[in-house]
């Protein structure tokens, strides 16, 4: 961490070329000593670490046998298939989460918020597995763990106690899921998870797929509780499809109400789900993050976890093609994500953590459109990936 690194000719977030100095793991002013190492960034764009604000590290099947998906189309079909798969495929949450973290490190994903299943069949085994990975990669990638009641919480007796156990075991965030359509009692569901968050002094992140006015109602309940418990800046709503399904007046009012409580939204930009009004959300100052959701699992067979490609998905889903809009989607996958999941020391200012991803592109828009793969990834002044190839020796750290 005492290494002194000079990166010449990098363009932070696509801006003018600068030289960056990292000393003791943080961006620093140029000092008197010559740098121990000099890197020529060749005018590439520098991003301050990609932020994966929503994935499911415990459920990826990377490197396992191909899973033949015969699952029906409803969310409930998928929840059942998912629970079956956890049982039948012997998915090892520790190993699988490590595989995904290493895969996405090559893209420059340095911060991950992962929902991790808690249910009455597996208990907190997945939480414990992903905690092992979180600790093993602590100096490479920040991993935040959300205790997530995927199969429902209130209808499945014992789940709430397991959520409590998960928080005691070291989960970082309290999760929730569809208070109405899955848990069948929106007020009680939200009261319980807000109480849990208060008890452990932790943030909240709620999966909210509820449609239209039902979703809007749940969002109102979330806004009320965030205000009442002074949880501003500590509540994220994931998906929030309803925001893309309301009439314009109601849509704006709700977005403004969320922004006023500094609630953030995570959207994947899924091609088959309602598109969130990204421009309006930005105009209203609503913090917006993005994520890959599950990759290569029983829910969806695809996904690579590349958050630059995710910026492209966001733009494509919103019919955005001009450069300014593409730069905005890249902002969502970097600084928006950092704000949304509550990172500190994120950016290129002096004193910020010395993390950066060099992307060979002329503009942010080009990076989003073409997702160049030969990236260089530096964490706290240490080169981990060079031109798309892992250069740091991480052997002995995991069993994969």
Site residues, a copy of itself (CB under 8 A): 66, 68-71, 73, 269-272, 275, 296, 299-302, 312-313, 316-319, 321-324, 326, 362-363, 365-366, 368-370
Q: Which is nearer to a copy of itself, 196 or 326 (CB)?
A: 326
Task: Report in angstroms how near the CB of residue 277 gets to a copy of itself at its nearest.
Answer: 13
Q: Which residues of 344-381 are buried (b: 16+ CB within 10 A; e: fewer)?
A: eebbbeeebbbbbbbbbbeebbbbbbebbeebbbbbbb
Q: Which residue has the tokens 């190993």?
A: 95
SS3 205: strand
Residue with Cβ nearer a copy of itself (202 or 282): 282
Rounded to a whole number of angstroms, the minimum distance from the CB of residue 371 to a copy of itself is: 8
Residue 116, beta-bridge partner list: 147
Smallest gap from residue 91 Cβ to a copy of itself (A): 17
Spatial CA neighbour of 49 closest among 381, 310, 356, 379: 356
Q: Least separation, in Å, of the C-beta of 101 and a copy of itself? A: 19
In whole angstroms, give the CA distance from residue 314 to residue 316.
Answer: 6
Least separation, in Å, of the C-beta of 140 and a copy of itself? 24
Nearer to a copy of itself, 269 or 347 (CB): 269
Q: What is the smallest separation between the CB atom of 288 and a copy of itself, expressed in angstroms?
A: 17
Q: Which of 278, 276, 286, 270 is nearest to 246 (CA)?
A: 276
Indicate the residue among 257 and 364 with the shorter CB distance to a copy of itself. 364
Strand partners, 111: 51, 142
Q: Which is nearer to a copy of itself, 288 or 298 (CB)?
A: 298
Q: Which is nearer to a copy of itself, 159 or 296 (CB)?
A: 296
CB nearer to a copy of itself: pick between 228 and 324: 324
CB of 366 to a copy of itself, least distance (A): 5
Q: For a copy of itself, which is the closer residue by CB, 185 or 366? A: 366
- DSSP per-residue letters across 87-125: HHTT--HHHHHHHHHHHHHTTTEEEEEEEEE-BTTTBTH
Q: For residue 23, with 0-12 CB atoms within 10 Å meaning exposed, 13-18 middle and 19 or more buried, which class applies? A: buried
Q: Which is nearer to a copy of itself, 221 or 295 (CB)?
A: 295
Tokens in use for 371? Answer: 């997702």
Q: CB-wise, 74 or 399, nearer to a copy of itself?
A: 74
Give the pairing of strands 376-379 and 382-386. Answer: antiparallel
User: Shortest gap between Cβ of 271 and a copy of itself (angstroms)?
Assistant: 4
Query: Toward a copy of itself, which CB reaches closer, 46 or 130?
Result: 46
- Helical ranges in 137-185 per DSSP H: 159-169
Burial of 399 by CB count in 10 Å (0-12 exposed, 13-18 middle, 19+ buried)?
A: exposed
CA-CA distance, 197 to 202, in Å (whole number)?
5
Work out how close the CB of 70 gets to a copy of itself at its nearest, in angstroms, rounded to a whole number: 6
Give, for 6, the enclosing helix (H) or strand (E).
strand 4-12
- Single out the residue of 2, 4, 3, 5 nearest to residue 40, CA to CA: 5
d(CA 268, CA 259): 19
- Shortest approach of a copy of itself to residue 363 CB, angstroms? 6
Minimum CB distance to a copy of itself, residue 150 (Å) = 17
34 DSSP assignment: P
């Amino acid at each position: 961490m005492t290494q002194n690194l000079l990166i010449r000719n990098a363009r932070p977030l696509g801006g003018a070329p600068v030289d960056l100095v990292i000393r003791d793991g943080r961006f620093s002013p140029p000092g008197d000593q010559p740098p121990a190492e000099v890197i020529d960034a060749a005018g590439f764009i520098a991003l301050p670490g990609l932020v994966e604000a929503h994935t499911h590290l415990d459920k990826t099947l990377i490197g396992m046998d191909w899973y033949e998906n015969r699952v029906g189309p409803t969310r409930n079909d998928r929840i059942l298939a998912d629970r079956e798969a956890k049982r039948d495929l012997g998915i090892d949450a520790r190993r699988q989460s490590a595989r995904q973290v290493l895969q996405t490190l090559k893209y420059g994903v340095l911060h991950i918020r992962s929902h991790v299943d808690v249910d009455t069949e597996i208990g907190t085994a997945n939480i414990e597995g992903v905690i092992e990975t979180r600790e093993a990669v602590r100096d490479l990638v920040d991993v935040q763990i959300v205790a997530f009641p995927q199969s429902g919480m209130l209808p499945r007796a014992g789940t709430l106690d397991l959520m409590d156990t998960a928080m005691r075991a070291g989960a970082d965030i309290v999760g929730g899921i569809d208070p109405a359509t899955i848990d069948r009692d929106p007020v009680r569901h939200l009261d319980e998870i807000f109480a849990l968050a208060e008890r452990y002094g932790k943030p909240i992140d709620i999966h909210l797929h509820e449609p239209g006015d039902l979703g809007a109602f749940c969002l109102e309940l979330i806004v009320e509780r965030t205000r009442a418990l002074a949880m501003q800046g500590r509540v994220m709503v994931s998906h929030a499809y309803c925001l893309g399904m309301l009439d314009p007046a109601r849509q704006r009012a709700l977005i403004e109400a969320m922004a006023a409580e500094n609630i953030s939204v995570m959207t994947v930009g899924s091609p088959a789900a309602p598109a969130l009004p990204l421009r309006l959300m930005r105009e209203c100052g609503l913090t917006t993050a993005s994520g890959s959701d599950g990759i290569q699992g029983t829910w969806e067979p695809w996904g690579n976890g590349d958050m630059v490609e995710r910026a492209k998905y966001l733009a494509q889903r919103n019919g955005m093609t001009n450069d300014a809009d593409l730069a905005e989607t890249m902002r969502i996958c970097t600084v928006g994500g950092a704000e949304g999941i509550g990172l500190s020391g994120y950016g290129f200012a002096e004193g910020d953590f010395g993390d950066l991803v060099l992307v060979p592109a002329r503009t942010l828009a080009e990076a989003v459109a073409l997702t160049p793969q030969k990236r260089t990834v530096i964490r706290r002044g240490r080169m981990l990936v060079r031109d798309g190839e892992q250069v740091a020796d991480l052997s002995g750290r995991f069993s994969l």
